[in-house]
Amino acid sequence: MKKIYTVALCALSSVAFAQKPLITSGSNVTRQAERTHDLTLPSPARTAGSSQFSSKSLGKKAFATKIGETMNDQQTNASIYRRLILHSDGKLSATWTTSADAAPYATRGAGFNSFDGTTWGPVSSTRIEPERCGFPSIEYSPNTNEVIVMSHIVKAGTGNAGGLRFNRKTGTTGGTWNSSVVLDTVESLPGVLWPRTAVSGDNLYVFASYTDSSANQPGRVVMDGIRTPQVFSHYKFSTNTWVAKNILLPGYEKDRVYSGGGDNYSIDAKGDNVAVLIGGLTDDLALWKSTDAGLTWTKTIIDSFPVGAYDYKTLVDTTYTNDGGVNVVLDNNGKAHCFWGKARVLDANIDDNSITYYPGQNAILYWQEGWDVSEATEIAGMPDENNNGDLDLASAWNDAGARYGNHSIATMPYATVSSNGVIYLIFSALTEDDISADSKNYRDVYMVHSKDGGNTWSGILNCTSFLGFNQEQIFASLAKDVDGYVHMTFLQKSSIGRYDATNNPGAVGPYDVVYMKIDTASIHNGSITSLNKFNNELFTVGQNYPNPLNDFTTIPVNFKQNSDVVVRVMDLNGKEVMVKEFTNTPAGASQLELNLSNLNTGVYLYSVEAEGFKTTRRLMVN
C-alpha cells in the first residue's frame, strides 16, 4: 500500500504498551485532520465512500441477554478472539476471560456457558481450568463431537507462562471438561501465550506468541534472531499428535520482524485452506496462506512498514500503519478476507525505545486475496450518528484511561461469512450519543456487510445503541456460522477504557458478558422498513432553546411522516429524570415543549426517539 508521510507534530502523553518498548501518544491534532485518510483508494466499485461515515441504528430489532460475568475486563491486547460457536443443531457455546476476584485475578481462567436450544445456563464467573489461565479461544470438532477451549497458563503471583491448557468436552452442552497442558517447554523457556485456534476436519491449528508475560521478560525467547516470536502449531485429532509445535512460518524472518507481540494476529481455516494474518503498530501487515493443511505457505505483505524489523531507532517521519486489531476470515471458496484498524505513528526521538502514536485514526480497512496490495480500501469507521457533519468527540475522549492500549477510534474488526456468501463485519468505535460525566465517549459495536464478496459494502449499523446510555460494549466476537441470525458476544460495562485494575483503578466489576443475535433479514433484506433508513430520513432534531434554561425549553423537530415520539431526559450517569410522549406528531416542523423546572442545575442528555431511531443532544439547566 502506498504510504503518505507528513511532518505535523503534537504534544505527547505516555501510555504503556504490553510486550513492546514504551509508546507515547500524540494528542488529537485537529478532529478534521484525524478523519482525513491519505490513502490510495481502489476503483469506485470498491470504495466505501466519504470518510464522513453515516450510520443507522438497530433500534429494538435484536435480542440480547447476559450469559456471564467477570471481574477482569481485559479480553485482548489487540485482536479479537473467537469466543462463540453456533452448532448445527442451533445450540451455542461461549467462552471469555473470567475471574471471580479483582486484581491480581488469582481465579482467572476461561469462563463458559452454553445454550441448549431453549435457555442459556446460569450466569457464572467460574473458570473451567484447574489453575490460573486466561485469553481463551473456542472451537468445535465435528469429527470428535467436542467443544474445545484453548487458554494460556500464567502462574499466579509469578507472571511465568507455562504453555496452553487444552480443554475438551464431549457434546455441545453438559459434560465434563478434560484439561491437559500442551505446547509447554523446558523450564529454561516460557511456554506460548495468547492462542488463536481454528478447526477444520481432522486438524486443529494454533497460532500464539512465544514469550514470557512478566514485565521484565526474564525468559525471553529468541528464534532465528526474532525476539518473542509468533509461532504455529498443528494437531491431528485422529492420531492425537502434534505434527508441528511452535514453529516459525516461512518468510517470518528477522529482516522484517524485530519482535513478536501479544494478540496482534488472527487465524482461520476451511477445508485444507489455512490463513494467518499478522500486524502490529510498527510491523508489516502480512498474510500467510496455505492450501494444503499447513504444509506449505505463501506470504503476502499487504501493507509494509517503511522500516523492516523496526527497533525503535530509525523511523524519523510519520507513517500510517495498523493498530494490531486485525482479522482474517476465509469465505466458502477458501479466499482470505483481511480487516484491520488504521493507525499512525512517529518516532520523535530515535535515541530511546519509544514511539509516538496518534489515537485519532478512524477507519477499518479491507483487502481480499487476489487484489493488488494497493487496492486496500476503507469500508467503515466511527459514524456521524447525529448527522451534524462532524464527529462529536468529547474533550477527554483520548485520555490514557479512556483508550484500549494503542487502538484507534475504529478498531477490533471481526468478520464471518454466511453459507450464501454474505460477509458480516463488526467493529468497535466511539459513539457520539453517549458521553460520560468526565467527558469521554463510550464505545458501541457497529456492523457493515457485503453481499458481493467484498466488492461493495453497506452503510453502518449500530448494533448496541438500544442497550442504553453510559454503557460501553467492547471486545465483540462473532460466531463463525450464520443461520438466519448473526450471533455475537461482547463485554458490557459502565466504565470506559481498558484494564480497570491499572488504567482505571476506581472502576470495579463485575462486568457483563452479553450474547446478542440479529436477524439477517432485518440487516440487509429490508423486511423491517425502518432499518433501511437513516435517522435524518425519518426526522431531524435541532438544539433545544433556550439553552441554558431555567424552567421550560423547546426542541425543534422535523418529521417526514406522522410519528409517535418519546423524549427522555437523563443525567450524566444515565439515570432517567423525565420522559414525555408525543403521540401522532404530524409530518413537518414541530416544537416539542418540556417543563424541566424540577431539575437541579447541571448538564443533562436528552433523546428524541421515533420509529426505532433516536437522536441525543445535551442541555444545561441554570
> Most confidently modeled of 119-128, 400-409, 602-611?
119-128
Angle at 432 between CA 426 and CA 433, to 5 degrees: 100
Does residue 553 share a domain with residue 527?
A: no
Does residue 608 share a domain with residue 515?
A: no
Does residue 468 share a domain with residue 614?
A: no
Predicted confidence (pLDDT) at residue 354 exceeds the cutoff of 60: yes
Does residue 568 share a domain with residue 482?
A: no
End of a domain among 488, 517, 532? 532
The residue with cell 485494575 is: 501
* Backbone Cα Rg of the chain: 24
Does residue 600 share a domain with residue 523?
A: no
* Run of H or E residues at 540: strand 539-541
- Residues 139/162, Cβ–Cβ less than 8 Å: no
Of 516, 476, 470, 477, nearest in space to 493 by CA? 470
Alpha-carbon gap, residue 319 to 4, rounded angstroms:
7
Predicted confidence (pLDDT) at residue 176 exceeds the cutoff of 90: yes
Query: Between 610 and 22, whose confidence is greater?
Result: 610
pLDDT, residue 500, reads 77
Does residue 550 share a domain with residue 491?
A: no
Does residue 561 share a domain with residue 483?
A: no
End of a domain among 491, 511, 532? 532
Write the CATH number for 590.
2.60.40.3080
Please provide the average confidence, as pLDDT, over all residues in the chain.
Answer: 84
Whether residue 19 lies inside any domain: the answer is no
Does residue 546 share a domain with residue 481?
A: no
pLDDT, residue 161, reads 67
Does residue 542 share a domain with residue 526?
A: no
529: which 3 cell numbers?
Answer: 422498513
Of 423, 233, 204, nearest in space to 333 by CA? 423
Q: What is the DSSP letter of 549?
A: B
pLDDT, residue 56, reads 55
Of 202, 171, 197, nearest in space to 88 by CA? 171
Give per-residue pLDDT as tens, 432-491: 888 888 889 999 999 999 999 999 999 888 888 878 778 899 999 999 999 999 999 999
Mean pLDDT of 150-172: 84
Whether residue 300 lies inside any domain: the answer is yes
Does residue 443 share a domain with residue 558?
A: no
Alpha-carbon gap, residue 190 to 154, rounded angstroms:
10
Alpha-carbon gap, residue 377 to 41, rounded angstroms:
6
Which residues are CB-neighbours of 149 under 8 A, at least 6 positions away?
Answer: 95, 110, 112, 128, 136, 137, 138, 139, 165, 167, 177
End of a domain among 475, 502, 532? 532
Whether residue 585 lies inside any domain: the answer is yes
Give per-residue pLDDT as tens, 39-63: 222 222 323 333 345 455 555 456 8
Residue 281 — very low, low, confident or very high, per pLDDT cuts 50/70/90? very high
Domain count, the chain: 2
Does residue 540 share a domain with residue 528?
A: no
Bridge partner list, 493: 472
- Cα 199 to Cα 144, 206, 524, distances in angstroms: 11, 9, 29
105: which 3 cell numbers?
Answer: 485475578
Does residue 177 share a domain with residue 201?
A: yes
pLDDT, residue 57, reads 53
Strand order in the sheet with 441-450: 55-57, 460-462, 441-450, 423-435, 410-417
pLDDT, residue 542, reads 81
Residue 94 — very low, low, confident or very high, per pLDDT cuts 50/70/90? very high
Give per-residue pLDDT as tens, 246-261: 999 999 999 999 999 8
Whether residue 5 lies inside any domain: the answer is no
pLDDT, residue 28, reads 28
Give per-residue pLDDT as tens, 103-114: 889 999 999 999
pLDDT, residue 334, reads 98
Angle at 23 between CA 347 and CA 509, to 5 degrees: 160
Whether residue 13 lies inside any domain: the answer is no
Give per-residue pLDDT as tens, 528-577: 233 334 455 577 788 899 989 999 999 999 888 888 999 999 887 778 89
Residue 589 falls in which region: left (phi positive, over 0), alpha (psi -120 to 50) or beta: beta
CB-based burial of residue 165 (10 Å sphere; 0-12 exposed, 13-18 middle, 19+ buried)?
A: buried
* Run of H or E residues at 345: strand 336-346
Which residues are CB-neighbours of 60 under 8 A, at least 6 positions away?
Answer: 466, 612
Whether residue 574 lies inside any domain: the answer is yes
Alpha-carbon gap, residue 577 to 598, rounded angstroms:
9
Domain containing residue 544: 536-621
Query: Between 271 and 35, whose confidence is greater?
Result: 271
Write the CATH number for 217.
2.120.10.10
pLDDT, residue 396, reads 92
Whether residue 9 lies inside any domain: the answer is no
pLDDT, residue 36, reads 25
Whether residue 84 lies inside any domain: the answer is yes
pTM above 0.85, yes or no: no
- Type of residue at 107: T
Angle at 59 between CA 92 and CA 434, to 5 degrees: 100
* From 384-393, 413-422, 593-602, 610-619, the region with the lowest mean pLDDT: 610-619
Alpha-carbon gap, residue 563 to 74, rounded angstroms:
43
The residue with cell 442541555 is: 619
Mean pLDDT of 150-177: 85
Give per-residue pLDDT as tens, 201-212: 999 999 999 876
- Residues 621/549, Cβ–Cβ less than 8 Å: yes
